[in-house]
């Protein structure tokens, strides 16, 4: 099963809106075939393994990270193929949270006389597909807040200098994160201050996420870099306060406009629903302090990934990684669970999940 989980990781960031799945076929104690789902619309992991195994699949045991599907989607049902191939036993890490599957595949396997075991390395499998599990059950993306700060929580100096707070290794990790998500989001202040491209720039090649800007009054400059590089679609989330003339100019520049509320601020909850409808399963938020606080205040962040540089800049006017109004009482503060820590170069990376 660990091998199946490892195989599934090969397609990280490439299968959305489908899950990451790996499969290993074993016969008489030996691995005879392997497979993993490479992208939506292509063969599932089980089918790849069956094709590789041929007649060796008959009487074999399949180890697979997710319950085999029993419904017709973009590809045919895997359960039917497993039964026809004569697989004797199927070991599954986790049941599929997709309501179209959710135990149906396991039931059909058992009805066909195939021995089924579940729950092997289930925690690891759920972690592997945390974005899929969130989207398929709520139809909203899994939200990760990615932060880069000094040891005292600053994202820039008092005069606005911010390049570069973290080291090269941490910046590369940030681009790897962009490469693996469906969309990336920043606020208008970041666009105005930094004119970012919001692309994944890896030496070995990368895939660029959809770029989303929180911009209630449509202030994104028509000269903004991301409107002219054709690297990935640009979605600008606005409210009814934005002028129609400005919106037409942004549309003409190639941006797509999404209306999210009629107040002075973009309704992030509405935005997440709109993104989910587009099959955007994962969202990386690289906002400033106000954007980070908005997601935390509304309870819309799922995960926090904080890169902490061994620097202290101080300054009451230096912007903080989370700002806004803040929480008045400690018992209102956002708490994280399942924390992990690692050094990425000289910077410390802390990762945790938001307690709901």
- Axis crossing angle, helix 104-111 with helix 78-85, rounded to the nearest 10: 20
Phi-psi region of 314 (alpha: psi -120 to 50; beta: other; left: phi over 0): left
Output the furthest CA–CA distance in the chain (Å, rounded): 70
Residue pair 202/179 in contact (Cβ under 8 Å)? The answer is yes
Q: Which of 3, 34, 42, 46 is catalytic?
A: 46
Do residues 12 and 127 make contact, with C-beta atoms less than 8 angstroms apart?
A: no
CA–CA distance, 306 with 322 (Å, rounded to integer): 11
Asked if 61 and 88 count as a contact pair (C-beta separation under 8 A), the reply is yes
SS3 217: coil
CB atoms < 10 A from the CB of 74, how many?
9
Based on the residue annotation, tell me whether 176 is a catalytic residue of this protein: no
H or E element at residue 303: strand 303-309
Is residue 119 within 8 Å of residue 90, measured between CB atoms?
Answer: no
Cα–Cα distance measured from residue 67 to residue 95, given in angstroms and rounded to the nearest whole number:
5
Taking the CB of residue 245, how many other CB atoms lie within 10 A of it? 8
Catalytic machinery residues: 46
């Amino acid at each position: 099963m660990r091998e199946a989980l490892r195989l599934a990781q090969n397609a990280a960031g490439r299968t959305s809106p489908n899950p990451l799945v790996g499969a290993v076929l074993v016969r008489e104690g030996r691995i005879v075939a392997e497979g993993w789902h490479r992208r939506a619309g292509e063969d599932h992991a089980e089918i790849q393994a069956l094709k590789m195994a041929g007649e060796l699949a008959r009487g074999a045991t399949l180890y697979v990270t997710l319950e085999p599907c029993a419904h017709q989607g973009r590809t045919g049902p895997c359960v039917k193929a497993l039964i026809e191939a004569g697989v004797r036993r199927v070991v599954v890490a986790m049941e599929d949270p997709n309501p179209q599957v959710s135990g149906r595949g396991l039931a059909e396997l058992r009805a066909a006389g195939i021995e089924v075991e579940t729950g092997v390395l289930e925690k690891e499998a759920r972690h592997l597909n945390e974005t899929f599990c969130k989207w398929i059950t709520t139809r909203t993306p899994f939200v990760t807040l990615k932060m880069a700060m000094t040891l005292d929580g600053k994202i820039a100096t008092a005069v606005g200098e911010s390049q570069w707070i973290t080291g090269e290794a941490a910046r590369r990790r940030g681009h790897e994160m962009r490469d693996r998500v469906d969309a990336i989001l920043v606020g208008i202040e970041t666009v105005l201050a930094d004119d970012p491209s919001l692309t994944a720039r890896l030496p070995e090649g990368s895939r660029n996420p959809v770029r989303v800007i929180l911009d209630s009054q449509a202030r994104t400059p028509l000269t903004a870099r991301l409107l002219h590089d054709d690297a990935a679609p640009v979605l600008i989330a606005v409210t009814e306060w934005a002028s129609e003339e400005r919106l037409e100019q942004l549309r003409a520049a190639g941006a797509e406009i999404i209306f999210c509320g009629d107040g002075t601020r973009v309704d992030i909850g509405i935005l997440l629903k709109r993104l989910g409808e587009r099959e955007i399963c994962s969202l990386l938020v690289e906002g400033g302090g106000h954007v980070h606080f908005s997601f935390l205040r509304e309870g819309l962040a799922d995960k926090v990934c904080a890169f902490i540089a061994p620097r202290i800049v101080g300054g009451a006017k230096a912007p903080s990684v989370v700002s806004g109004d803040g929480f008045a009482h400690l018992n209102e503060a956002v708490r994280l669970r399942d924390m992990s820590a690692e050094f990425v170069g000289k910077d410390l990376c802390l990762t945790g999940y938001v307690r709901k």
